[in-house]
Amino acid sequence: MHEESTAGPSARMHETTGENEAVLDLVLEYSRNRLTARDLPLDKSVSSADLRRLAPPAVTEDGIGAARAMAVFEHVLAPACITTDHPRYLSFIPSAPSKAAAAFDIVVSASALYGGSWLEGAGAVHAENEVLRWLAGEFGLPAGSGGVFVQGGTLGNLSALVAAREDAREAARGRGTAPGRWAVVCSAEAHSSIASAARVMDVDVVAVAPGEDGVLRGDAVRAALAEHGDRVFAVVATAGSTNFGIVDDLAGIAEVTTERGTWLHVDGAYGLAGRLSARRRDLFTGLEHADSVIVDPHKWLFAPFDACALVYRDPDRGRRAHTQHAEYLDTLTETKDWSPSDFAAHLTRRPRGLPTWFSLATYGVRAYREAIDAAIDLAAEVGRVIAGRPELSLVREPQLSVVVFERVGWSKADYDAWSARLLDEQLAFVTPSSHQGRPNARFAIVNPRTTIEDLTAILDTMA
Ligand SMILES: Cc1ncc(COP(=O)(O)O)c(C=O)c1O
């Protein structure tokens, strides 16, 4: 039994009181039920007008109380959010946090951990670094590589490219030259976050056409570098394109970047998890030459939103670009301690790598490899089913766990109507995509609970 607050009304929110223990019970019970539920609906979004009608204003002078707020969340707000870890959520890149990872996210919040500096969060940073070192080892990067977990692939790509440009600027200063405009070379099929980073940085994007198979190769990159010369501060290779899960020819591209001394960044936000599978390991040969890489644990490494692992081959190059200097921060920046804030465009951060650390510790790396193998095998299997149905055709052979296919004779409107019907009937969430102007359907598979029966049931609706 805890004492009721004696510190006056201002401490009501922070003291351990009967009221706050009840709040805690409510929240933990909901979380436990959500994480142990066996058959969650997919749910779907609801219009803003309906939500205004269904959810009473909660942010008022007196509040509405935890019990009512929790009820609004459970019965109105949560059902208006698609269940992203549902086995038949197959759009975009899904998320499928392991039970241990999702549960440990609660611990991270409960512990009020600060993950920006070693001074404040040494223990948490140590554990995050253990994960980053493990990833670096899997990727073939040298001992001494390191980085930080950031919010997502977009911020990871931006932070890596800022470091690359800083490096190129220093080199250009050394040569006494400076290009009018900097440029980054990438595949025309690179993720939109590369163009977004370029806009933020006010640099040009040189988008190079990949081969018919979607793979960007060394000779195409060599030609782009010959044309654009020293103004290219980085080449981005994609290790698992978003639309198709295709891996660029990392070895061929690395040969060119090594020759020319150009920074190689590998965007493996989705696909680099595939490197953990013995089945596809060879696809990533050349990765070991990268200057920076990203992979998002919230995609295919079974972590909750939001987490992107950014690893630099030489972390000092990240630090030179990103460390913030201010009088009140001197106590942090004057030491040699490893402070995660120093490696990306951020300062305050939660140690969002901890759920991955806990999950890896709980289940072991082998369980991850097996779950990734399973998604690759399932993609190959459904690819064969599609190839065997006369009304369907594969757009490209799946390399990792994305399967793109067409329904012969369907227009964009047909795909849209079909996708809406699947969600209305709560069968699946499969948004249409397109390639070279032709509409198609796309399964992105990361959830170990997705089965071939789930996928064939969806294909049956296209007959
Ligand atoms: C290849 C690739 N890079 C970058 C991103 C952006 O990641 P985020 O959505 O976490 O910012 C994605 C997202 O799907 C992606 O597939």
Distance 238 CA to ligand 1 centre (A): 11
Note whether residue 201 is domain-resident: yes
- The whole-number pLDDT of residue 7 equals 64
> Model confidence over 130-187: pLDDT tens digits?
999 999 999 999 999 999 999 999 999 999 999 999 999 999 999 999 899 999 999 9
> Model confidence over 206-240: pLDDT tens digits?
999 999 999 999 999 999 999 998 999 999 999 99
DSSP string, 23-39: HHHHHHHHHHHHHH-SS
Chain Cα centroid distance, residue 248 = 18
**Cα–Cα distance, 208 to 231 (Å, whole number):** 16
Q: Is the shortest distance between the CB of 267 and ligand 1 below 6 Å?
A: yes
What is the arithmetic mean of pLDDT over 103-124?
A: 98
**Cα–Cα distance, 443 to 245 (Å, whole number):** 11
Query: Pairing state of beta strands 183-187 and 392-394?
Result: unpaired
Domain around 250: 113-363
Q: Is the shortest distance between the CB of 238 and ligand 1 below 6 Å?
A: yes
Q: For residue 462, what are the CA distances in angstroms to 15, 23, 408, 430, 433?
A: 57, 47, 10, 12, 15
pLDDT class of 6 with cuts at 50, 70, 90: low
Q: Is the shortest distance between the CB of 189 and ligand 1 below 6 Å?
A: no
For ligand 1, what atom is nearest to the CA of residue 92?
Answer: 14
**Cα–Cα distance, 147 to 127 (Å, whole number):** 13
pLDDT class of 328 with cuts at 50, 70, 90: confident
pLDDT class of 364 with cuts at 50, 70, 90: very high
**Cα–Cα distance, 127 to 115 (Å, whole number):** 11
For ligand 1, what atom is nearest to the CA of residue 268?
Answer: 1
Tokens of 306: 């939001």
Distance 305 CA to ligand 1 centre (A): 12
Note whether residue 409 is domain-resident: no
- The whole-number pLDDT of residue 4 equals 53
Strand order from edge to edge, sheet including 438-444: 392-394, 402-407, 438-444, 433-435
Distance 304 CA to ligand 1 centre (A): 15
- The whole-number pLDDT of residue 108 equals 98
What is the arithmetic mean of pLDDT over 406-425?
A: 98
> Is 60 exceeded by the pLDDT of residue 360?
yes
Which among 359, 399, 393, 353 has a CA at the least distance from the CA of 376? 399
Note whether residue 80 is domain-resident: no
Note whether residue 428 is domain-resident: no
Alpha helices in 388-447 (DSSP H): 412-424
Distance 156 CA to ligand 1 centre (A): 9
> Is 80 exceeded by the pLDDT of residue 8?
no
Q: Is the shortest distance between the CB of 153 and ligand 1 below 6 Å?
A: yes
Q: Is the shortest distance between the CB of 270 and ligand 1 below 6 Å?
A: yes
Note whether residue 305 is domain-resident: yes
Q: With pLDDT > 90 as the criterion, what percentage of the chain qualifies?
A: 94
The pTM for the full model equals: 0.97
Looking at the structure of the chain, the number of domains it has is 1
Note whether residue 70 is domain-resident: no
pLDDT class of 302 with cuts at 50, 70, 90: very high
> Is 70 exceeded by the pLDDT of residue 2?
no
- The whole-number pLDDT of residue 1 equals 43
Return the CATH number at 172: 3.40.640.10
The amino acid that residue 457 corresponds to is A
Note whether residue 395 is domain-resident: no
10 Å CB burial of residue 247 (0-12, 13-18, 19+) is buried
> Model confidence over 383-414: pLDDT tens digits?
999 999 999 999 999 999 999 999 999 999 99
Note whether residue 82 is domain-resident: no
> Model confidence over 37-69: pLDDT tens digits?
999 999 999 999 999 999 999 999 999 999 999
8 A C-beta contact, residue 380 and residue 445: no
Q: Is the shortest distance between the CB of 296 and ligand 1 below 6 Å?
A: yes
Distance 269 CA to ligand 1 centre (A): 5
Choose one of 91, 95, 242 to mutate for the ligand 1 pocket test, by most ligand atoms within 8 angstroms of C-beta: 242
Q: Is the shortest distance between the CB of 154 and ligand 1 below 6 Å?
A: yes
Average pLDDT over the chain, rounded to whole? 96
